[in-house]
Structure 1
């Protein structure tokens, strides 16, 4: 006797969100690789340009752990795109400052990110796009704004390197 698979009564929202997120990340990674950046490097450059921010603040904005943030900033420094400097507000804190070359590359990477987003949304009519973005914003500011407490942490999907 074989087990019967229960019939679906609703669309698989987890699959839809996971799959589209994964494919968007791969498209974004490929596009940013054109200019030698990763999505994390782009995130750090763009947010560091907005205002003076510490590594910890940038890590929170980019949803990175400390180790990943250190590796990302190390790579940006080695490429001459950013520098660690003492904060003007708190001499004990270090902020990430974007160099002139880093600012130019951040402007280019913003164009790339915008292009990828436009390609993804391009199949939608203007009305569908408006509704989709409004609903997604409602999700990320509402029930899905923060992860649920869970005694067994849920791991994020691992991104393939290279």
Structure 2
């Protein structure tokens, strides 16, 4: 006797969001690699340029753990794009300061990121694009605004072979 799969009542939102997010991240990684950056490096540069921020603040914005954040800032320092400096507001705190070259690279990387987003969204007519982005913003600020606590780490499913 074979088991019957349960009938799906809703669209597979988990697959849709996971798959599109993964593919978008791989496209972004490939595009930014052309100028020697990772998405994390781009994130740190752009957000450190907006205002004086500590590594902890930048890690929270970029959803990075402490180890990943340290490695990212180390790579930015090694490339001459950023440096750690004492905060002008609190001398006990250290902030990530973007160099002049880092600011130029951030400008280029933002154009790349915007281009990838524009390319992906170009398959939608303008009206649908506006609705899609509005709906995604509502989900991100509503039911998908915070992570649920889980006893086990959530991992990405194994990729299907083509």
Bin of the TM-score, shorter chain as denominator length? over 0.9
* Structure 1 segments of 4+ aligned residues over 2 angstroms from their partners: 153-158
User: Deviation of residue 60 (structure 1)?
Assistant: 0.3
Say what the alpha-carbon RMSD is for the aligned residues: 1.1
Question: Where do 1:10-21 residues align within 5 Å?
Answer: 10-21=10-21
- Cα distance in 2 for partners of 1:39, 1:72 equals 10
Aligned partner of 1:94 in structure 2 is 94
- Cα distance in 2 for partners of 1:138, 1:103 equals 31
Aligned residues: 157
Question: Where do 1:4-153 residues align within 5 Å?
Answer: 4-150=4-150, 152-153=151-152
- Cα distance in 2 for partners of 1:156, 1:98 equals 33
- Cα distance in 2 for partners of 1:66, 1:4 equals 45
- Cα distance in 2 for partners of 1:153, 1:36 equals 34
TM-score (norm 1): 0.94
User: Deviation of residue 156 (structure 1)?
Assistant: 4.4
User: Deviation of residue 21 (structure 1)?
Assistant: 0.2
CA-to-partner distance for each residue in 1:11-56, whole Å, 9 max, x for gaps? 1000000000000000000000010000000000000000000000
TM-score (norm 2): 0.94
Which consecutive residues of structure 1, in runs of 5 or more, have no partner in the other structure? none
